[in-house]
Structure 1
Amino acid sequence: MGFAPFSTPYDWSRLAAAKKTAARHPDGMIDLSIGSPVDAVPDSVRRALADAANDPNAYGYPVTRGTESLRAEIVGWFLRARGVDLTALHAGVIPTQGSKEAVSLMASLLGLGEGDVVVQPRVSYPTYEIGTQLAGASALKVDVADFESWVNVPGVRMIWVNSPSNPTGEVLDAEQLRGIVAAARRIGAVVVSDECYALMDWRGEGGNGCSATPCILSPEVCGGSANGLLCLYSLSKQSNMAGYRTALIAGDDDLLAPMLNVRKQIGQIISGPCQAAMVAGLRDMEAVATQRNRYRRRLETLVRGLRAAGYDAAMPQGALYVWVRSKSGDCWTDIDDLANLGIIVSPGEFYGDPAYLRVSSTASDEAIRTAATRLGA
């Protein structure tokens, strides 16, 4: 495993000029670009972190594979929140230092390299491609659900799925996921499903914190076997724990076992107190439901504001962003226009389509309301 050179347009410094313009707005800048949580960490999580501050797993080296209580809670969470019985699937679990390191290292940890092809959504989170480049493999950007677009391509070894999608909010149904899994298994490729926004599904009223978003490990999708399948999840959005770096991989234990060995050697370990906090975050579904409702309201407010400004905006199926076509046809032109209103959004170019904008709901209620007012003025 080595790191090959990479290149990407995903560079937040490219927004520096627009931010200078936005900062000159008399009522200040509202940043709706980076999807970083702004709300408080649940009390249950903070108490767990404090209580574990002097545990053996804190003053001593923490367990790479996760404490027994954490591993058991991950299994319990999948059953409660996703309807997935990891035990019945004989699936393994590994806690990770946030989901980004899992995404960026995935191709390398799977042993991919020159000549190998990684399939990913055409419009998607940039780190999928960066991780592929770091491994020395090649990215193929397609409509992943259209498996005929990649199943016969030589060298395909891995397929990225992201549902709900960052940035588009698209949700893949069980039938689409089942087709992807079957096609991947026919060619011996691994499916890695990034489901970090799984509990942010807006297609129904919901409200209990659980999601209608199908999981790659659901029996109706995987046929009762985790073979060749990995699922990623994070507590960053559901519990505002981005700074805790608490995430996980679950799935085919034959794939996870060698990853665990590498992680032990390079020290990719969640700190002991944060492992305890992760247990609390997975248990506290009431806090998840509260946060979910906040995001729904914020997205609805943003959609109204964008429509008032002349954008063809709609509520996403899932995730935390409004993905909307720019009025000018070029994301950077619209970014400059919005900066004059004191509003900063993400350029669609970062995600693969320069004709679009990504507008994040990860801002305070007041900031979201103010942004919507400015847009409609």
Structure 2
Amino acid sequence: MPHLHDRAAAQESVFARMSRLAAQRGAVNLGQGFPSAPPPAFLLDAARGALGRADQYAPPAGLPALRDALGADLGVDGADVTVTCGATEALHLVALALLGPGDEALMLEPVFDVYLPQVALAGARGVTVPMTLDPARGWQFDLGALAAAVTPRTRALLLNSPFNPTGTVFTDEELAGIVALARRHDLWIVSDEVYDELYFGARPTPLRTLAPERTFTVGSAGKRLEATGWRVGWIAAPPGLTPGVLGLRQITSFCAPAPLQAAVAAALPVARAAGFYEELRQGYAGRMQRLAAGLRELGAAVFEPRGTYFLTALHPSWTAETLVQEAGVAVIPGEAFYAQQAAPAGLTRWAFCKSDAEIDLALTRLRAS
């Protein structure tokens, strides 16, 4: 019998695995990052209205109404926007468009789990640059280390701000240094900004505003609008480069679900005008503090994020396996975000996009374990 290609040996992702274990054991799922709350009513109403009128194929680039709405929201030309089946497909398409055999892409570690495999599928090599975890100052980014990792084969920088899992938001000074590095070596920038509306403090500066000629921005309606299963993402490309992305887009999933695209197009201006994102951030900030305080009471060192809906924690006797099996609480192990360096001992990632009741139940179970 013929054999599957080696790439088909990929293992079940840790996020799917922990959610499966949580369901099997009745655990509180603070692992995989999907919200407990339903999407906002204005989004659901828009989806109901779209059913029956936007049910056939959309153009591979996306419904014009959604491209225009995203252009207005992001401050770009809608012609430079491509709608995708979630941000994961967006990142895959950008990797295919920018990278090939012999190329390298630099990214920071801890690293979101799809980045390295997607670079490899493009035939290129992912190179990680470690962030450090200082007990007093939290996660630290070293621009000098990133610069030192550039080689003649480096073609792109793949960055995530707000950063999953660390919660880091790059400062304007750090962003200026990143842009100067990219221009000095003529590198593309892939900026994963799926958590662009989930921040605590000053609004993150989008990299595309500093280097529009070389930045591909990836975004997600699922993160913004609490509808992660809808799989509506996007790419905002440098001016004039979208046709190259579309040539690949039409042979992947062809188009994202048309009714959900129509719903997101209608919902984006409402979310902005109604202050939905401000309310979302306030709610998440309160739940983040609730979870952080409880974990600290249990002896964990907690590193509060400046963005995303995740926090990281260190506890010498906690592992993700023992927590789900013995305490009935599912989290993501720190080693899931490490491929080329060792994870800090006792590191775990906790999702606080859950209800107060779920967070309280998780803390009660941890205290009893």
- Same fold, TM exceeding 0.5? yes
Alignment equivalent of 1:86, drawn from 76, 79, 86? 76
Q: Does 1:336 align with 2:322?
A: yes
Q: Does 1:100 align with 2:88?
A: yes
Q: What amino acid maps onto 1:62 in structure 2?
A: A
Deviation at 1:7, TM superposition (A): 5.3
Alignment equivalent of 2:311, drawn from 322, 330, 339? 322
Which residue number corresponds to residue 292 of structure 2? 303
Aligned residues: 343
Which residue number corresponds to residue 335 of structure 2? 349
Which residue number corresponds to residue 130 of structure 1? 117
Render the CA deviation track for 1:283-330: whole Å, top value 9, x for unaligned: 2133333332222121111101110110011321111111112324xx
Q: TM-score, normalised by structure 2?
A: 0.85
Q: TM-score, normalised by structure 1?
A: 0.83
Q: Does 1:238 align with 2:214?
A: no
Deviation at 1:347, TM superposition (A): 0.5
Alignment equivalent of 2:195, drawn from 194, 197, 206? 197
CA distance in 2, matches of 1:264, 1:305: 48
CA 1:118–1:227: 2 relative to 1, 3 Å:
same
Q: Kindly indicate whether the alpha-carbon contact (under 8 Å) linking 2:216 and 2:236 is maintained by their aligned counterparts in 1.
A: yes
Q: Kindly indicate whether the alpha-carbon contact (under 8 Å) linking 2:168 and 2:305 is maintained by their aligned counterparts in 1.
A: yes
Deviation at 1:16, TM superposition (A): 8.5
CA distance in 1, matches of 2:11, 2:122: 15
CA 1:54–1:14: 2 relative to 1, 3 Å:
closer
Deviation at 1:54, TM superposition (A): 2.0
CA distance in 2, matches of 1:184, 1:354: 29
Deviation at 1:354, TM superposition (A): 5.4
Q: Does 1:276 align with 2:262?
A: yes
- Cα RMSD (Å) of the superposition? 2.6
Q: Kindly indicate whether the alpha-carbon contact (under 8 Å) linking 2:220 and 2:234 is maintained by their aligned counterparts in 1.
A: yes
Q: What amino acid maps onto 1:101 in structure 2?
A: E
Unaligned runs of 5+ in 2: 131-141
CA 1:44–1:372: 2 relative to 1, 3 Å:
same
Q: Kindly indicate whether the alpha-carbon contact (under 8 Å) linking 2:22 and 2:324 is maintained by their aligned counterparts in 1.
A: no
Deviation at 1:17, TM superposition (A): 10
CA distance in 2, matches of 1:263, 1:278: 20
Q: Kindly indicate whether the alpha-carbon contact (under 8 Å) linking 1:119 and 1:150 is maintained by their aligned counterparts in 2.
A: yes
Q: What amino acid maps onto 2:195 in structure 1?
A: Y
CA 1:310–1:17: 2 relative to 1, 3 Å:
farther
Q: Kindly indicate whether the alpha-carbon contact (under 8 Å) linking 2:109 and 2:129 is maintained by their aligned counterparts in 1.
A: yes
Deviation at 1:235, TM superposition (A): 1.4
Unaligned runs of 5+ in 1: 79-84, 205-210
Which residue number corresponds to residue 149 of structure 1? 148
Render the CA deviation track for 1:253-308: whole Å, top value 9, x for unaligned: 34322111221244431222111111133221333333322221211111011101
Render the CA deviation track for 1:194-249: whole Å, top value 9, x for unaligned: 011111111x3xxxxxx61111122xx22xxx111111111112211211111111
CA 1:7–1:51: 2 relative to 1, 3 Å:
closer
CA 1:189–1:4: 2 relative to 1, 3 Å:
farther
CA 1:235–1:15: 2 relative to 1, 3 Å:
closer
What is the aligned-residue identity percentage? Answer: 29
CA distance in 2, matches of 1:13, 1:50: 29
Partner of 1:340, secondary structure, is helix
Which residue number corresponds to residue 127 of structure 2? 140
Q: Kindly indicate whether the alpha-carbon contact (under 8 Å) linking 2:58 and 2:258 is maintained by their aligned counterparts in 1.
A: yes
Partner of 2:224, secondary structure, is coil
CA distance in 2, matches of 1:175, 1:141: 21
Listed as ranges, the matches of 1:1-377 within 5 Å are 5=7, 10-12=13-15, 15=18, 19=22, 23=25, 28-55=26-53, 57-58=54-55, 60-78=56-74, 85-87=75-77, 92-110=80-98, 112-143=99-130, 145-146=143-144, 147-151=146-150, 153-202=151-200, 204=201, 212-218=203-209, 221-222=210-211, 226-283=212-269, 284-285=271-272, 286-328=275-317, 332=319, 335-337=321-323, 339-352=325-338, 353=343, 355=345, 356-376=347-367
CA 1:363–1:253: 2 relative to 1, 3 Å:
same
Larger mean Cα displacement after TM superposition, 136-145 or 185-194? 136-145
Q: Kindly indicate whether the alpha-carbon contact (under 8 Å) linking 1:322 and 1:360 is maintained by their aligned counterparts in 2.
A: yes
